[in-house]
Structure 1
Amino acid sequence: MPLLSRRQVLAAGTALLAAPHVALAQAPIKLTLPWLAQGSTAYCYIAKEMGAFSRRGLNVETSRGFGSVAAAQALAQGQFDYAVVGAGPMILAAARELPITGLATVNYDMTMGIMVRADSPIRTAKDLEGKRLGAVPTSAEYPFWPAFARRAGIDLSKVTIQQLDNRVLERTLIDRQVDAITAIASSSIPVMQAQNAQSRFIPYSSANLNFYANVICTRPDVLRDRAAQAEAITDALLEAAAFQLREPERALDMFVKQVPEIGITSGGRENARLSQGIMQVTMVKPEAIQNGLGYTDMAAWNAMTDLVMEFGAPADAKRPATDAIISNRFAGKTKLTPAEWDALRARLAPFGAMIG
């Protein structure tokens, strides 16, 4: 065997030393959704299809979620690098001292509430007394059910809670196994309509319980050590969300291409269209219109934190400081014109009527 020169040995050693770093750079960045792949979070897939990730040198792997509470926990435990989490569950996670921080607010109403069948005798929140209420314990809205009940004057002892798996939540209501479910309108209304089941929705906001919706989140250590990456992830997702607003049908085409099972059934695309439309209604808000996509109103965030600490957090929980868990550092770069916002208001009016 011929002897290697000193230069060849050094070159080989350098290559070996560099290899782990190359592998690390190419390893996928892991992002989890709060729920199933739906129109309301399609921008996470559209960002890949339109090249918003690749143009920034990002290799992102998006996974379905099992509720915002579970997504926040999985992020905190290091199973994912980034997560899309509802604002209420995110604040709750921070109050429980889980490492989580928000990079940008995507939309401004979680559309949390109570769903009933259209033919249900339940007309008001108070009518839930004496009824069976289905709920997914790890969902975004369930931790705030007691808060809604208190504000709506519901006697909790008179409501039977039936814990459900998220995969059968709406089906259980359709089959009359429960009288009502706690739900996110942007997720559950499309599922009900896809199964030809008419429904009505009683929003938590009817009892003045208001929460922002999805927030792009990471852990403080990721933000500290990979700030450029965190900014790039945020920029790519907000670019894709803006594309959804401007070109909803093309956006759905991209979504179906990335998640083919959405297009397998005849109702799959319609489900995604409804979910997308309801989500977009909650983006047409002063925060985004005046300041750009992703912007968070800190006064509104403080008010949400007060609600979490009063109704959702354990008695010994520590109130998280707003500036410690959310900022506008990466927000506001992507903007729509006044004419575009006006057009959106008109186009999205039918979706707004669905959530009251």
Structure 2
Amino acid sequence: MPFMTRRAALALGAAPLVAPLAMPAVAQTANIKLTLPWLAQGSTAYAYIAKEMGAFTRRGLNVEVSRGFGSVAAAQAVAQGQFDYAIVGAGPVILAAARGLPIVGTATVNYDMTMGIALREDSPIRTAKDLEGKKLGAVPTSAEFPFWPAFAQRAGINMAGITVVQMDNRVLERGLIDRQVDAITAIGSSSIPVMQAQRAAHRFIPYSSAGVNFYANVICTRPEVLAARKSQAEAVTEALLEAAALQLKEPERAIDMFIKQVPEIGITQGGRENARLSQGLMQWTMLAPEAMDHGLGYTDMAKWNAMTDLVMQYGAPNDARRPAPESLISNDFAGKIKLNASEWGTIRTNLAPFGAMLG
């Protein structure tokens, strides 16, 4: 979120939406720790939904889910053994590996980190080049800011006349709303719900419009864990993807289940709406050929290779070593949970308003 995102059910007792898969053999109930990239929010609610729907329990897993402090920190924490598994942005996974940290991905859940430029709706800035000569607010340690130069270069922006104003992530959106800056670099799935909660109309120019795109949530662990406890890693991955499928097909029920696991979401003013927005924005990024054609969790290795190139050029230190994509991510556990064409069509229609928010 640093590759980070920012901010802040009643289960109906029905049978699981997705028919349970044949469970990988797990000898006994295993206590494991899973960290999120940031706070509990709709974009990663499937970690809590997997608990509420029994997806972990059915696989012999007792999972403790903890909030994170940014994807970079989450990648470091799992690599250092503080957690068994983590949900981390693809960029931080690649960066951690480039720095020599032991980390490996088991599946990709979301296919766009929603990096971009947030604007007030009444802003005269209509295209990326219109940023020239303007004030741009940014959090230097955020996920998207290291790739601002890549976006500027590919969008044909002359950065020389742009004033970058360093801001705290707690006041980033407020600074834009109050016209302290003309635009901000942002993660759409985090900043848009914040602006919506403050009834601030916005527009968004995604980095992906200039070909700068990173996968968002990747399930990861350490190579030693994957080697020694492969069946467990498979079980954790399948449980999370089963919950993600439920989110896609029954979003309101998913929010109810999320709130049952994290009650403070339900009692906080605007909490449910923020969770709904965060969920919908991130789900929009699942409408990708990877998931639709190959099944949930699938990773396009050519795209992962391109993301690695971006990290090495713009985000990695000089002494970093380029990690081979095949050593960092695989599709061994992907593609077992699939939705049919009709289901994807309904989901696309339901999520269209969220896609419009992302430009």
| TM-score, normalised by the number of residues in structure 1 | 0.87
Q: Number of paired residues?
A: 332
Offset of residue 29 of structure 1: 2.0
- Runs of 4+ displaced beyond 4 Å: 25-28
Counterpart amino acid of residue 102 in structure 1: G
Q: Paired residue for 1:105?
A: 108
Residue 157 of structure 1: how far off its partner (Å): 4.3
Please identify the structure whose Cα radius of gyration is greater. 1
SS at match of 1:114: strand
SS state at 2:48 partner: helix
Using the alignment, how far apart are the partners of 2:184 and 2:165 within structure 1? Answer: 9
SS in 2 for 1:167: coil
1:42 lines up with 2:48 in the alignment: no
Partners of 1:57 and 1:27 lie apart in 2 by 6
Residues 1:312 and 2:315 aligned together: yes
Task: Tell me the equivalent position of 2:238.
Answer: 235
Residue 264, structure 1, aligned to residue 261, structure 2: no
Q: Identify which range, 237-246 or 81-90, moves more after superposition.
A: 81-90
* In 1, Cα distance between equivalents of 2:70 and 2:77: 11
| Cα distance change, pair 26–342 in 1 and its aligned pair in 2 (3 A) | closer
Q: What code does the residue aligned with 1:177 have?
A: Q
Q: Which amino acid aligns with 1:287?
A: E
Indicate the residue corresponding to 2:23 in structure 1: none
Q: Distance in 2 between matches of 1:169 and 1:230?
A: 37
2:111, 2:300 → 1: CA distance? Answer: 10
Contact 1:66-1:138 at 8 Å conserved across structures: no
**Residues 80-95 of structure 1 mapped to structure 2, 5 A cutoff:** 80-95=83-98
Aligned to 2:345: 342
TM-score scaled to structure 2, two decimals?
A: 0.86
Check if 1:224 corresponds to 2:231. Answer: no
Change (3 A) 1:223 1:166: farther
Q: CA deviation at 1:266?
A: 4.0
Aligned to 1:6: none
SS at match of 1:330: coil
User: In the alignment, is the contact (CA less than 8 A) between 1:38 and 1:187 conserved in 2?
Assistant: no
Greater Cα shift, 177-186 or 251-260: 177-186
What is the percentage of aligned positions where both structures have the same residue? 78
Q: Tell me how far 1:298 sits from its aligned partner.
A: 0.9
> Hey, what's the Cα distance between the residues in 2 that align with 1:161 and 1:233?
42
Report the aligned-residue RMSD: 1.9
Q: Does 1:29 align with 2:32?
A: yes
State the AA in 2 paired with 1:256: I
Corresponding residue SS for 2:61:
coil
Q: Is the counterpart of residue 167 in structure 1 residue 170 in structure 2?
A: yes
- Answering whether residue 334 of structure 2 is matched by residue 294 of structure 1, we say no
CA distance in 2 between partners of 1:74 and 1:123 (Å) = 40
Alignment-derived partner of residue 244 in structure 1: 247
Query: Corresponding residue for 2:196?
Result: 193
Per-residue deviation at 1:28? 4.5
Q: Match for residue 123 of structure 1? A: 126
Quote the Cα distance in structure 2 between the aligned partners of 1:169 and 1:29.
35
The answer to whether residue 48 in structure 2 is matched with residue 68 in structure 1 is no
Report the CA distance between 1:290 and its aligned residue.
1.5
Alpha-carbon distance in 2 for matches of 1:138, 1:164 = 10
Q: Displacement, 1:26?
A: 7.5
Of 139, 142, 145 in structure 2, the residue corresponding to residue 139 of structure 1 is 142
Decide whether aligned partners of structure 1 residues 318 and 189 sit closer, same or farther in structure 2, where only a CA change above 3 A counts.
Answer: same
Q: Which runs of 5+ in 2 are unaligned?
A: 1-27
1:52 equivalent to 2:55? Answer: yes
